Amino acid sequence: MANSLQSLFQAIAQARNEEELRSQIMDRVGTYFAANRWGIFFFDRLPPTNSRLQNLLEVALSVEHNPVLRYLVERHAPVHEALVLSPKAWKMICPRADHWHVMAGPIVSSGCLIGAVGFTRVRGTPAFNTQNLADLSALCLHLSTWLATVRVQPTAFDTPSRDRLTPRELQIAELVAQGLTNAEIGTTLWIQENSVKQALKRMFRKLEVSSRAEMVARLFSSKNKDVGEIVFKGARSQTYPPE
């Protein structure tokens, strides 16, 4: 069957980069789950938006305001709206007819949530169910494995940029490149999380960058430019100042 789970797994494994994953596979994934809208998102590569839309995204991608996303962040497990809310409560949070039903699954690397696969169905269509969650769980496992395979870890510091940073700041940069959150970096280096935040602010200023992903791209050389280092914290791409 063209859109069986096994065929999707094989197609994911054969994708050479993110562009191929999006263009050749995601349409089939959306069809498999009978979704009206769908997408794969890496949290350091969200598209630029105007200020009004950015404000909306701040709410939509906030674990405080979005219980579906909070479930995803806390459990690293697929979720649909009916799993965490009553239909009435969900409609109060998201009254959009094109988001009448939603489902999302995690993309994970080194124990960190770095992206998600999302699906929506419009009003009048069936809700996502337990079988959909089970299938999405399997799909996310393959996507996470694919990402770990195609991603090339940074292999060397860019010397001119490196010279602007202290040895401690270079340690922090390496851990950021591995996808660790501020709290995880603090635990690894035995320093306070706030010390990590303040260090990142200084590093951003020194390197003249405005995001963790941009900092990693500036500091490290990598053979693979299609799938950059992915950094995620609090369900949002971090920009200056680092939160």
pLDDT of amino acid 103: 96
pLDDT of amino acid 156: 52
Q: Of 139, 130, 121, nearest to 4 (Cα)?
A: 139
pLDDT of amino acid 114: 81
DSSP string spanning the chain? -TT-HHHHHHHHHH--SHHHIIIIIHHHHHHHTT-SEEEEEETT-PPP--HHHHHHHHHHT-TTT-HHHHHHHHH-S-EEHHHHS-HHHHHHH---GGGSEEEEEEEEETTEEEEEEEEEE-TTSPPP-HHHHHHHHHHHHHHHHHHHHHPPPP-EE-HHHHTTS-HHHHHHHHHHHTT--HHHHHHHHTS-HHHHHHHHHHHHHHHT-SBHHHHHHHHEE-S--SS-----BTTB--BSSP-
User: Do 140 and 165 reside in the same domain of the chain?
Assistant: no
Provide the token pair at 51: 């200020």
User: Do 145 and 163 reside in the same domain of the chain?
Assistant: no
**CB-based contact 122:130 (threshold 8 Å):** no
32 part of a folded domain: yes
- Beta carbons within 8 Å of 90's beta carbon, 6+ residues apart: 81, 82
pLDDT of amino acid 46: 56
The b-or-e profile of 218-242 (16+ CB within 10 A means b, else e) is bbbebeeeebbbbbbbebbbbeeeb
The parent domain of residue 64 ranges over 5-150
Q: Is the whole model's pTM more than 0.85, yes or no?
A: no
User: Do 112 and 166 reside in the same domain of the chain?
Assistant: no
User: Do 35 and 9 reside in the same domain of the chain?
Assistant: yes
| Residuewise pLDDT in 10s, the chain (243 residues) | 456 889 999 999 888 888 888 888 888 999 999 999 998 887 655 555 555 545 555 555 566 778 888 898 888 999 999 999 998 998 888 888 999 999 999 998 777 788 889 999 999 999 999 999 999 999 999 998 888 777 654 445 556 777 788 888 888 988 888 778 898 888 878 788 899 999 999 999 999 888 888 888 788 754 333 333 333 333 333 333 444
Provide the token pair at 57: 């995204």
Cα 69 to Cα 84: distance, rounded to the nearest angstrom = 10
Number of folded domains in the chain?
A: 2
CATH assignment of the domain containing 167:
1.10.10.10
**CB-based contact 196:172 (threshold 8 Å):** yes
User: Do 166 and 106 reside in the same domain of the chain?
Assistant: no
Provide the token pair at 185: 């970096």
pLDDT of amino acid 225: 38
pLDDT of amino acid 219: 82
Cα 71 to Cα 63: distance, rounded to the nearest angstrom = 8
User: Do 113 and 208 reside in the same domain of the chain?
Assistant: no
Q: Is 111 left (phi over 0), alpha (psi -120 to 50) or beta?
A: left
User: Do 121 and 27 reside in the same domain of the chain?
Assistant: yes
192 part of a folded domain: yes
203 part of a folded domain: yes
